[in-house]
Amino acid sequence: MKKYNTIFLDRDGTINPDPGYISSLEQFKFYDFTFDALISLAKNKNRFCIITNQSGVSRGLINPKDLNNIHNYIKNKFMENSVPLLGVYFCIDHPDNSTPRRKPGSGMFLEASKDHKIELKNSVMIGDSKDDIQVGKDLGMDTILVLTGRGEKTITDNPDINPTIIVDNLKKAADWILNE
Ligand SMILES: [Mg+2]
């Protein structure tokens, strides 16, 4: 098994389907394999951190209170399943006017690293977009591209993206980590 200090997870398209700008708890659901994957990794002493761009807030499409409800729901589900979650870091910046917090900027990762003493170079980033892979690489992490969400399009648009590995979904990512 590969032993990572922390497993970073993108949110939309990685742990839950991404219909675009999820603005209420009613629109949010986990993939049916998500907790299968997370529980198997948690049993092997892995801990997690969610890092998500949520520009829908700056675009006026998502109410911050609803985003907070969704993130509380996510945190509760992790807790119910005994999956250790260090935090949900989110950035509401609009891409046209973004700070280094917004992926592929590294701001949220550095915050999490400081808050929880994370060794980034011994960690892995799992996500479905180019930005997820880019920031993971920039920080010296392993990177796993999942083909759920925007994953297929990410490869078509960026044939030279070259993550550590490409897998069908989060469950396959867990299998790879546990068998590597
Ligand atoms: Mg995503």
pLDDT per residue over 101-135, tens digit each? 999 999 999 999 999 999 999 999 999 999 999 99
Q: Which residues surround ligand 1, an ion (CB under 5 A)?
A: 10, 12-13, 128-129
Q: What are phi and psi of 77, to 5 degrees?
A: -65, -40
| Whether the Cβ atoms of residue 123 and residue 141 lie closer than 8 Å to each other | yes
CA of 39 to the centre of ligand 1 (A): 21
Q: Which domains, and CATH codes, for the chain?
A: 7-179 (3.40.50.1000)
CA of 12 to the centre of ligand 1 (A): 4
Query: According to the model, what pLDDT value does residue 2 have?
Result: 85
Query: According to the model, what pLDDT value does residue 132 have?
Result: 98
Flag whether the pTM goes above 0.95: yes
CA of 148 to the centre of ligand 1 (A): 9
**pLDDT at residue 76 is higher than 90:** yes
- Catalytic site positions: 10, 12
Summarize pLDDT for 43-62 with one digit per residue, the tens: 999 999 999 999 999 999 99
Q: C-alpha angle with apex 88: 15 to 22, nearest 5 degrees?
A: 55
| Whether the Cβ atoms of residue 145 and residue 161 lie closer than 8 Å to each other | yes
